[in-house]
Every structure is written in C-alpha cells, then in structure tokens.
Amino acid sequence: MDTPFSTLIRTASHEQHTEAETSSFMGDLLGGRLAVDAYARYTEQLWFVYRALEEGAEALREDPVAGPFIQAELFRTAALEQDLAHLRGADWRAGVSPLPATVAYAERVAECARDWPAGYVAHHYTRYLGDLSGGQIIRDKAERTWGFTRKGDGVRFYVFEEIGNPAAFKRTYRELLDGVNADDLEKQRIVDECKRAFAFNSAVFHQLGGEFPLSA
C-alpha cells in the first residue's frame, strides 16, 4: 500500500468527521447557545467511553498491534472525574447515566479491547487524536461560554498536561499508525472500525441533541 496508513485513515473518515463536527448539538454547544448542563451531560457520556477505552488499555500494553498506542499521558478518565466533580458536585457518580448510544459505543470499545486489538486502535485514534485536535477548539469555547478557569476544572479533559507539544505528539502518533502491525486487509478493517467509531460519536450527539433540542 503506497499511501501511509495515517493518511488513509484520516482521508477515509473525513466525511464523517465533518458530519460529527456539524451536528446540531455540537453546533449549539460551540455556538454558545446551550447551558452548562448540556456540557456536563456531554462530559458524562465521555466518561463512560473513556472508562471503556482505558480499562481495556491495561491488558493491551504488551499486545503487538495495540500495545505501542497505549501511553499513560493520554489517559483521560481522572481528568474527566475532576471535571464532573466540578460540574455536578462531589456526589456526581450518583447522578450519571449513559445514553443508549453511549452504552453501545462503550460496549463496542470494550469488545474490541477484549477480542480485537486492531479494532481497539481504531477507537484509540478516533478519540485521542480528535481530543488533541478539535478538542482544543471545544475547550476554548467552553472556557469562554461558561467561565471555566483557563485549562482548569471543567475542561481538564481537554488539557493533556503531560504532553508538552501536541503537534509533535500527533506527528509521532501518525508514525505509529504508519507502522501498525497489520496487513492491508486488516488495515482496511481498522479504517472500517474508525468509521464505526465516528458513527457512534454522531449517534451520541444525536441523542444529546434530543435532550437539548435548541437548534431549529
């Protein structure tokens, strides 16, 4: 395959990226039209997804395909828990619930972590590279809309404190993708799973949009 895998996966998911980015929930959130409760509800959903991603990570550290991708500086669960304590209060755990789309998403991530490490890579890429990219736009908007301290409680999820240079990190990450230990057929299956990961994200946005129906 001539095209580097990092280019292939980015190009293949481009259309769905645009779809997720322009969902009405995201549009309302980034447009500053939603109350902080909607942002908190979204953060709750992320917590379920990252728990699945990161609980699955431990067992994959030595895996020949997924192992190189497991890097502690990416882990987001602790940051999400701090954000939720800030957004919902110390007893936030009593009130969180996953949307049906979130349940399906987290279950698929857990299933890949358990049974198909290459599929796990697709989910890893879709979330973490996105957080390191567009996530920064969301953070900036959230800080301004709801008055969170810059890079403080409420937006810690978006702050990768142990990653000094996100652009350099992303370059290295793309090299990891290019060298992924998979043949062409398996790479195609990873791309397909990445598209599925985007579809899960869009489904979560769609259901969040149903709970916070602002867009006309």
Q: Which residues bind ligand HEM (CB under 6 A)?
A: 10, 17, 20-21, 26, 30, 125-127, 129-130, 133-134, 137, 170, 198, 201
CB atoms within 10 A of CB 44: 22
Residues 198 and 125 sit within 8 Å (Cβ to Cβ):
no
Question: Based on CB atoms, which residue is closest to ligand HEM, 85 or 195?
Answer: 195
The residue among 2, 119, 139, 123 whose CA lies nearest residue 51 is 123
Question: Based on CB atoms, which residue is closest to ligand HEM, 26 or 101?
Answer: 26
- Report in angstroms how near the CB of residue 185 gets to ligand HEM at its nearest: 21
- Report in angstroms how near the CB of residue 64 gets to ligand HEM at its nearest: 22
Q: In one letter, which amino acid is 98? A: P
Alpha-carbon gap, residue 107 to 15, rounded angstroms: 24
Nearest to ligand HEM by Cβ — which residue?
A: 134
Alpha-carbon gap, residue 124 to 149, rounded angstroms: 28
Question: Based on CB atoms, which residue is closest to ligand HEM, 25 or 148?
Answer: 25
Question: Based on CB atoms, which residue is closest to ligand HEM, 47 or 198?
Answer: 198
- Torsion 151-156-157-163 (CA) sign: positive
- Report in angstroms how near the CB of residue 18 gets to ligand HEM at its nearest: 9
